[in-house]
Structure 1
């Protein structure tokens, strides 16, 4: 049976006491510094409003927090396994590297053994941890006023050709099989939260997702089937429109998108997505509240499934759905992005 975290207030009290009862079972992420710690960390205690609590290291990393160098919350895994320690040290030295299984073999490690070791200690594989590190660096580059191309390099796309190869791999085809004059065209759009893939025709936006979303290959395969294999690379006027609107959104100047959408789902699923678009910028809803808003009080689970099936991120704001207790719930683009999006929208709404 998994350990159930107590309330955030109780965990904050434990943090102030440096209570060892929660050692290895709870961690605190500090929004003001971007780091996560053990509850026993000897560092100066953060303010309550800057704290968010997690059950495991994997959740902290997914939310975009870096491990504290004072309390070293990942130390237990390092001490228990020399392989883990060596790879964590290598990652710290080269966080921007596009790590692969070949790199593990070069360092003398079996990739499957590494995968099991990291999953056992941290709940996330080494390659997933490395990808999260690159994405976090991408965000930090832009936060520090860096150029978009610098963030793009940090995230892993170095050329249009590199994107073509990555996209073809996601789609499950050879790069040569991508249609030059496809009915649907895909391109990437850089944002402060990492690269997104946009798939458009000449009239509608069909897909907008962060590049590492796990459901992306399946979503692309469905779209490729929808257009009978006529998917290619490039931009349309719709791509330019959504890119411009995303830029204004991240600048805090746009709160409602006007790009026309092509919705691929059942009638009920489309109803949920339209209800999501009615949630004002700067506000949130629980699944239950969204079901009530739709007049479908008993359909909470169905609403949750439809929310998770959304393939037009940000524009259809599934990130505005939180738990009934106010806690952040799962998000395909990563909980750290969800937190950043909600913070951005609260600031935007307050500036109105």
Structure 2
């Protein structure tokens, strides 16, 4: 368990007050309706004697309750906060807009409240997210064959230098350095937990990382140097398959990933990554348990290093590895994101498929 539930009276009071502090950490099951909800659900409040509380979605499902259609407890908790929902809707309506704090005020929202809410749920501010979204528009334009100047305008940057600097800071190279004929092609994948970069060859996915991972520029540079022709921009078949599978994952439909993967690294690292893929969604392991699983029980620290060197997030689920005491440990995508992923996967525990489903790692580039 990641959280210890307070007593029934405390949780019922939180339900009545729609206390956001418990959102995603506790769920209420209502005996008279057979549904379970977030504590922030806007629906009419049930009587205390009809409520039971659980700390996981999986526990609610196992108890025979179905998810509420008003508060959608199966979705990420972030959108339950009105300030986040309102700003995300505004961003989707006009993705190319250049946002300022004055725009947030014009929507009737407090900038400091928005800043704290976005940092808590996404590890970045709304203005950071909006800037990242504009870069996505530029990246998409490049992947569709547009010239850099066109991509700059698509991303709503006033000057070519500002676009190049922002692009280089995020991706690790200037947009002009991305070859159009390279064997490896990079593309942008949007997810509810932040945008990701996918790099694929014609047959395999080579990299899948959240954009704010600090190691991403170095990882892309290493891939570019190790591949004749460097990295281009485009959407090859493995990236398309990865995006489809990620969409199903975040929508709560499937935790199976069958995109063919190409992973380098040592034989030891590949053994660790294989063991990670064998952890069922909804479960976690410690570093020592992974070390035992690969037949090297004294190699916990080496397992931790291999775990951190994984370049294919979610599909090789390094987020499922926690401390031996049950605490969250380091994660390149941010501990806030690791917690969200574990929460999301609790819903998959009762319905997971065969233990070895979705394996098939290629030993190297192709």
3-state DSSP class of the match of 2:188? Answer: strand
3-state DSSP class of the match of 1:156? Answer: helix
Instruction: Give the conservation status (yes or no) of the 8 Å contact 2:122–2:337.
Output: no
Q: TM-score, normalised by structure 2?
A: 0.57
Instruction: Give the conservation status (yes or no) of the 8 Å contact 1:95–1:133.
Output: no
State how 1:32-71 maps to structure 2 within 5 Å.
Answer: 32=24, 49=55
Instruction: Give the conservation status (yes or no) of the 8 Å contact 2:180–2:233.
Output: yes
Instruction: Give the conservation status (yes or no) of the 8 Å contact 1:277–1:316.
Output: yes
State how 1:160-171 maps to structure 2 within 5 Å.
Answer: 160-161=137-138, 165=164, 166-171=166-171
Q: TM-score, normalised by structure 1?
A: 0.59
Instruction: Give the conservation status (yes or no) of the 8 Å contact 1:134–1:155.
Output: no
Structure-2 residue corresponding to 1:336: 336
Change (3 A) 1:212 1:221: same
C-alpha distance in 2 between matches for 1:49 and 1:253: 21
Change (3 A) 1:168 1:178: farther
C-alpha distance in 1 between matches for 2:113 and 2:178: 29
C-alpha distance in 2 between matches for 1:171 and 1:32: 32
CA displacement, residues 44-75 of structure 1 (integer Å, 9 cap, x when unaligned):
xxx8959xxxxxxxxxxxx98xxxxxxxxxxx
CA displacement, residues 273-327 of structure 1 (integer Å, 9 cap, x when unaligned):
0110111111110001111111110000000100011110000000100111111
Structure-2 residue corresponding to 1:156: 133
Residue 135 of structure 1 is aligned with which of 108, 122, 138? 122
C-alpha distance in 1 between matches for 2:206 and 2:120: 29
5+ unaligned residues in a row in structure 2: which ranges?
Answer: 11-19, 27-52, 57-76, 79-103, 143-163, 353-366
C-alpha distance in 2 between matches for 1:210 and 1:225: 21
C-alpha distance in 2 between matches for 1:32 and 1:277: 25
Q: Which gives a bigger RCO, structure 1 or 2 (Cα 8 Å, sep 6+)?
A: 2
Instruction: Give the conservation status (yes or no) of the 8 Å contact 2:186–2:233.
Output: yes
5+ unaligned residues in a row in structure 1: which ranges?
Answer: 1-6, 17-27, 35-46, 51-62, 65-88, 98-125, 140-150
Change (3 A) 1:190 1:227: same
Instruction: Give the conservation status (yes or no) of the 8 Å contact 1:197–1:207.
Output: yes
